[in-house]
């Protein structure tokens, strides 16, 4: 069926044309920190700014000591993937011949599987729960391959709060180390510091596409200061202050420049949180015609770095994707069609993955930039509403208003 052609439009601003268009603190906000780096002549290797960033993040996460957590529950890493690898090495060590498998979800970003592979594990893909899009602790605890598993690595999909208490129980019951890839879940841990565990480390990413960012960076969260210190050593080549190589490590340090970005981002955090909150609210309030377009998932249920449209059917989701593309609006299936469909992991052993396959076909990421306007969000929602109508009437339903241009 052909539809009338619409007049060519000027390209949309990046906040609409890209599914995530990061806006980190500007140069002026970084200047005081960069001047400190000049004065210190200390550019990496856990300098003043990395230490200040860790102090401030620890204060935020432990609510200044009022939570009963140790004062240090977080150390930084060069990126979120390095944080996963360091946590695995500190918690589980490399894979063994007796226990070569790491049980992980397929519904995640590729870094999850790459991190376990770099620690010698073979990924074993298990299916996720349809409500949470995350591994189900009870299902994993009864999994037939547990005897071959040296690691369990659940993912906090889209920054949802992971079930840390349940994973602690799985670890206690099976003896198998559990590391949680909580890369996008910074807000969930800030909101509920009680999630931080003494036995199950969780890792964060501070990549530019995440809500709190150092441009590239990451962290390990672990309410065990001895193990955290081991994570620090692992990310510093496994070498002590006396330059003694103790165990296998790698270069996973955050630089002072990235810490400067993190400090500037923390300075703005309250304002950024409020802006993200307004965007989530605008999407939710604009949703109105829920039955027509599906269900919107927004912060605080998931990280503010994402807005997801969960369509009732795969066909409706595909139509939504097509309509957004026609208008040049950015959208993405963030976790692709699942890792088991990626050539790099096609050989990995796995369960049947019906829930994963269903979610990949029905969950679509919508624009979530921090500077989206209310009008931008109306434009996205109006475009989606067209997918709920008969194709031939799509032109009639086109809103009068033109979008904000670049
Ligand atoms: C962002 C992300 C990562 C990778 O983090 P980097 O900082 O880019 O290395 C890993 N896992 C998940 C689920 C992510 O969302």
- In terms of DSSP bridges, do strands 74-77 and 307-310 run parallel, antiparallel, or are they unpaired? unpaired
Q: Mind listing the pLDDT tens digit of every residue in the chain (406 residues)?
A: 444 444 456 789 999 999 999 999 999 999 999 999 999 999 999 999 999 999 999 999 998 666 778 889 999 999 999 999 999 999 999 999 999 999 999 999 999 999 999 999 999 999 999 999 999 999 999 999 999 999 999 999 999 999 999 999 999 999 999 999 999 999 999 999 999 999 999 999 999 999 999 999 999 999 999 999 999 999 999 998 888 898 899 999 999 999 999 999 999 999 999 999 999 999 998 876 455 689 999 999 999 999 999 999 999 999 999 999 999 999 999 999 999 999 999 999 999 999 999 999 999 999 999 999 999 999 999 999 877 654 434 444 444 444 443 3
CA of 293 to the centre of ligand 1 (A): 29
Is the entire prediction scored with pTM above 0.85?
Answer: yes
183 within ligand 1 shell (Cβ under 6 A): yes
Domains and CATH numbers, the chain: 14-22+269-397 (3.90.1150.10), 27-267 (3.40.640.10)
Q: In the sheet where 363-366 sits, what is the strand order?
A: 295-297, 307-310, 363-366
Cα 314 to Cα 249, 256, 320, 321, 363: the distances in Å are 44, 45, 10, 11, 9
Token pair listed for 260? 């400067």
Query: Quick one: which atom of ligand 1 is closest to the CA of 184?
Result: 15
Residue with tokens 């630089």: 255
CA of 81 to the centre of ligand 1 (A): 6
249 within ligand 1 shell (Cβ under 6 A): no
Helix locations, 179-313, DSSP H: 186-191, 225-235, 256-267, 269-287, 290-293
- Count, in order, helices (H) and strands (E) of the chain: 15, 10
Beta bridge partners, 309, equal 296, 364
Query: Quick one: which atom of ligand 1 is closest to the CA of 158?
Result: 15
- For 363, phi and psi rounded to 5 degrees? -100, 125
End-to-end CA distance of the chain: 32
b/e 305-332 (16+ beta carbons within 10 angstroms → b):
bbbbbbbeeeebbebbbebbeebebbbe
Cα 294 to Cα 65, 86, 252, 384: the distances in Å are 42, 39, 41, 9
């Amino acid at each position: 069926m052909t539809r009338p052609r619409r007049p060519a439009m000027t390209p949309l601003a990046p906040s609409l044309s890209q599914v995530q268009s990061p806006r980190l603190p500007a140069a002026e906000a970084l200047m005081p920190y960069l001047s400190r780096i000049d004065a210190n002549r200390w550019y990496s290797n856990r300098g003043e700014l990395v230490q200040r960033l860790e102090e401030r993040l620890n204060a935020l996460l432990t609510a200044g000591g009022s939570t009963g957590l140790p004062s240090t529950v977080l150390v930084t890493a060069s990126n979120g993937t390095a944080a996963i690898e360091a946590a695995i090495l500190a918690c589980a060590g490399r894979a063994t011949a007796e226990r070569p498998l790491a049980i992980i979800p397929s519904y995640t970003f590729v870094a999850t599987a790459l991190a376990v592979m770099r620690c010698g594990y073979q990924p074993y893909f298990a299916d996720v729960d349809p409500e949470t899009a995350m591994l189900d602790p009870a299902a994993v605890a009864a999994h037939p391959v547990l005897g071959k598993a040296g690691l369990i690595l659940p993912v906090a999909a889209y920054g949802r709060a992971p079930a840390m208490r349940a994973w602690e129980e799985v670890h206690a019951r099976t003896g198998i180390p559990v590391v949680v890839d909580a890369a996008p879940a910074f807000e969930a841990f800030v909101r509920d510091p009680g999630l931080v565990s003494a036995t199950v480390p969780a890792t964060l990413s501070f990549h530019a596409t995440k809500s709190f960012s150092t441009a590239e960076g990451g962290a390990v969260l672990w309410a065990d200061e001895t193990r955290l210190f081991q994570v620090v050593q692992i990310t510093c080549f496994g070498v002590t202050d006396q330059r003694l190589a103790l165990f296998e490590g790698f270069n996973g340090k955050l630089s002072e420049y990235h810490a400067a970005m993190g400090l500037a981002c923390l300075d703005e955090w309250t304002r950024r949180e409020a802006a993200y909150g307004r965007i989530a609210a605008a999407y939710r309030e604009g949703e109105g015609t829920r039955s027509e377009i599906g269900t919107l998932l927004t912060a605080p249920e998931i990280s503010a770095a994402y807005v997801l449209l969960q369509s009732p059917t795969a066909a409706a989701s595909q139509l939504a994707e097509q309509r957004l593309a026609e208008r040049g609006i950015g959208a993405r299936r963030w976790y692709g069609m699942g890792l088991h469909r990626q050539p790099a992991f096609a050989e990995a052993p796995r369960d049947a993955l019906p829930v994963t396959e269903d979610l990949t076909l029905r969950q679509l990421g919508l624009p979530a930039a921090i500077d989206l306007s209310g009008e931008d969000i109306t434009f996205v929602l109006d475009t989606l509403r067209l997918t709920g109508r008969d194709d031939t009437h799509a032109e009639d339903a086109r809103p009068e208003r033109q979008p904000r241009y670049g």
